[in-house]
Amino acid sequence: MAISLPDLPYSKTALAPHISEQTIDFHYGKHTAAYIDKMNAAIKGTDLDGAALEDIVRAADEKGDQGLFNNAAQSWNHIFYWNCMAPNAGGKPQGDLAKAIDDVFGDFDGFKKAFSDAGATQFGSGWAWLVAKGGKLEVRKTPNAETPFTEKGVTPLLTMDVWEHAYYLDYQNKRPDYIASFLDNLVNWDFVAENLAKA
- β strands within the chain, DSSP E: 126-133, 136-143, 154-161
Domain 95-198 classified CATH 3.55.40.20? yes
β-pair type (136-143, 154-161) = unpaired
The whole-model pTM stands at 0.97
CATH 3.55.40.20-classified regions of the chain: 95-198
> What are the DSSP calls for 12-51, one per residue?
TTTTTTTS-HHHHHHIIIIIIHHHHHHHHHHHTTSTTTT-
Is 192:84 a contact under the CB 8 Å cutoff? yes
Three-point CA angle 99, 196, 1, nearest 5°? 165
CATH 1.10.287.990-classified regions of the chain: 21-83
Fold of 21-83: Helix Hairpins (1.10.287)
Q: What is the pLDDT along the chain (199 residues), one digit of tens a residue?
A: 789 999 999 999 999 999 999 999 999 999 999 999 999 999 999 999 999 999 999 999 999 999 999 999 999 999 999 999 999 999 999 999 999 999 999 999 999 999 999 999 999 999 999 999 998 999 999 999 999 999 999 999 999 999 999 999 999 999 999 999 999 999 999 999 999 999 9
